[in-house]
Amino acid sequence: MTSKKHINIITLGCSKNLVDSEKIMGQLQHGPFRITHDADGPSDIVVINTCGFIGDAKEESIDTILQYTEAKKQGLVQEVIVTGCLSQRYKDALQKEIPEADAWFGVDNPSELFTYLKHKYNEGSQERLITTPSHFAYLKIAEGCDRTCSFCAIPLIRGKFISRSVESLVEEAAELARKGVKEILLIAQDLSYYGFDLEKRSMLADLLRELVKVSGIEWIRLHYAYPKNFPTEVIDLMAKEPKICRYLDIPLQHISDPVLKSMRRNTDKASTLALLEAFRSKVPDVALRTTLLVGYPGETMAQFEELLAFVKETRFERLGVFTYSPEEGTKAFELEDTISDKEKQKRADKIMEAQQEISFQLNQEKIGKTFRVLIDREEDDYFVGRTEYDSPEVDNEVYVTKQDDIVTAEFYSVRITSASDFDLFGEKI
């Protein structure tokens, strides 16, 4: 009896890449393979699903490839296969630079990898091997992006925006619920654009109206919204549908009009403030997460100060910041990268300093209040979970004092007893 070939899938980058890996594994599991994900140790084949978004991510991907080609030299791995965004973007050059890797595949034709592994590829199959804890999963509602942000290489890598049908997404959500998933996180490069390629209008609200009907799913979370064309009917839905988390991840990148213009964000300060105000007024307890980009070519100190003031005034519940990195093929790459890496980092640190203070104050206001908490894991003297205002891996966590009748993947009412900058502590009531 021939033993199954061990394939270890390594995922780098974002949750969208993770879903791609889960789908590759979902099909390969039916073949003569033993499948692991991000496992340490030897394997017959390693498939590295790379990220090619910005400088640091590219570096991490190349380091990971070299780590495994080195392991191959030591006989710990027989074959090194590279796929994902970095390979899509730089396959030809990297093949010459790292000849030790056995095969390179892009993202636009997943069947090629299956042909190489001599396993039948089932076009359209949405079967997945879930790698997240069993009670939450990402639901990728579209591929690609039609926006023209000057600093971003994703449209060059992932191509045009392609929405999945509402029916196929509801089916996948129901399948996830059958597997015990209670929280689904809707992801795409740009959630706001969902449906425009299908019916020339946003269909995000349509999708949500169907997803809230899926039994077993208790939390639906929205990630990667775009400020322009954001379907405001979603705000009303969020206000009345308890299954839709009062949470929105909406990367804004900047707020100064000249910078937004140069970034080709097709939006401006006034409409951004109006959209945030609409959320604050219709869903008063909404947790807004954003991502900002500092050190963009030509960003003056005054424009940076305007961004810092915006952060202090808006008091986002959650915030992340990136420093600008020039990406070949993007419009901004033609601009002179005028700001030093040291100065870029200084600006990013100032933003996070202000955010840390805001997060601390907002968390203090939660002491004494009771929240519904979904338990993700057990850790030392605590069970660790999240409220509906917190997304996995990026946001605050709630440390719940251990009690015998608490188990993971269940919801509990928790009264907050203390708080730190980014975490809460409490007791099940």
Q: How far is CA 282 from CA 235, 264, 337, in A?
A: 7, 29, 40
Q: What is the 3-state secondary structure (H, E, C) of 338-368?
A: CCCHHHHHHHHHHHHHHHHHHHHHHHHCCCC
* 3-state SS, residue 240: helix
Nearer to ligand SF4, 147 or 243 (CB): 147
Q: Which parts of 127-146 interact with ligand SF4 (CB under 6 A)? A: 145
Using CB under 6 A as the binding rule, whether residue 196 contacts ligand SF4 is answered as: no
Find the helix or strand (DSSP H, E) in which 215 lies.
none
Is the distance from CB of 198 to CB of 162 less than 8 angstroms? no
Least distance in angstroms from the C-beta of 267 to ligand SF4: 11
Q: What values do phi and psi take at 280, rounded to 5?
A: -60, -35
Using CB under 6 A as the binding rule, whether residue 183 contacts ligand SF4 is answered as: no
Using CB under 6 A as the binding rule, whether residue 292 contacts ligand SF4 is answered as: no
Least distance in angstroms from the C-beta of 152 to ligand SF4: 3
Least distance in angstroms from the C-beta of 292 to ligand SF4: 12
Nearer to ligand SF4, 157 or 400 (CB): 157
- Secondary structure letter of residue 145 according to DSSP: -
Least distance in angstroms from the C-beta of 250 to ligand SF4: 11
Using CB under 6 A as the binding rule, whether residue 296 contacts ligand SF4 is answered as: no
Nearer to ligand SF4, 151 or 383 (CB): 151
Residue 175 CB partners (closer than 8 Å, separation 6+): 126
- Secondary structure letter of residue 96 according to DSSP: H
Using CB under 6 A as the binding rule, whether residue 187 contacts ligand SF4 is answered as: no
Determine the number of helices (DSSP H) and then strands (DSSP E) in the chain: 13, 18
Nearer to ligand SF4, 156 or 354 (CB): 156
Applying CB under 6 A, which of residues 20, 22, 183, 190 lies at the interface with ligand SF4?
190
Applying CB under 6 A, which of residues 189, 303, 363, 387 lies at the interface with ligand SF4?
189
Query: How many CB atoms are located within 10 Å of the residue 296 CB?
Result: 25
Least distance in angstroms from the C-beta of 225 to ligand SF4: 10
- Give the binding-site size for ligand SF4 (rule: CB under 6 A): 9
- CA–CA dist 380, 427 (Å, integer): 15
Nearer to ligand SF4, 53 or 68 (CB): 53
Least distance in angstroms from the C-beta of 78 to ligand SF4: 36
Least distance in angstroms from the C-beta of 197 to ligand SF4: 14
Query: How many CB atoms are located within 10 Å of the residue 32 CB?
Result: 12
Least distance in angstroms from the C-beta of 353 to ligand SF4: 25
Nearer to ligand SF4, 50 or 69 (CB): 50
Task: Render 246-308 in DSSP notation, one character per residue.
Answer: EEEE---B---HHHHHHTT-S--HHHHHHHHHHHHHHSTTPEEEEEEEES-TT--HHHHHHHH
Nearer to ligand SF4, 50 or 359 (CB): 50
Nearer to ligand SF4, 155 or 295 (CB): 155
Least distance in angstroms from the C-beta of 193 to ligand SF4: 8
- CA–CA dist 221, 259 (Å, integer): 29
Nearer to ligand SF4, 166 or 332 (CB): 332
Using CB under 6 A as the binding rule, whether residue 223 contacts ligand SF4 is answered as: no
C-alpha dihedral over 399, 405, 411, 416, to 10 degrees?
-40
Is the distance from CB of 398 to CB of 423 less than 8 angstroms? yes
Nearer to ligand SF4, 84 or 155 (CB): 155
Nearer to ligand SF4, 226 or 382 (CB): 226
Using CB under 6 A as the binding rule, whether residue 226 contacts ligand SF4 is answered as: yes
Least distance in angstroms from the C-beta of 188 to ligand SF4: 9
Is the distance from CB of 403 to CB of 385 less than 8 angstroms? no
Q: How far is CA 372 from CA 63, 388, 393, 429, in A?
A: 41, 7, 18, 10
Query: What type of residue is 17?
Result: N
Least distance in angstroms from the C-beta of 222 to ligand SF4: 15
Using CB under 6 A as the binding rule, whether residue 46 contacts ligand SF4 is answered as: no
Using CB under 6 A as the binding rule, whether residue 235 contacts ligand SF4 is answered as: no
Q: Which parts of 143-182 interact with ligand SF4 (CB under 6 A)? A: 145, 147, 149, 152, 154-155
- Secondary structure letter of residue 383 according to DSSP: E
Using CB under 6 A as the binding rule, whether residue 399 contacts ligand SF4 is answered as: no
Provide the binding-site residues for ligand SF4, judged by CB under 6 A: 145, 147, 149, 152, 154-155, 189-190, 226
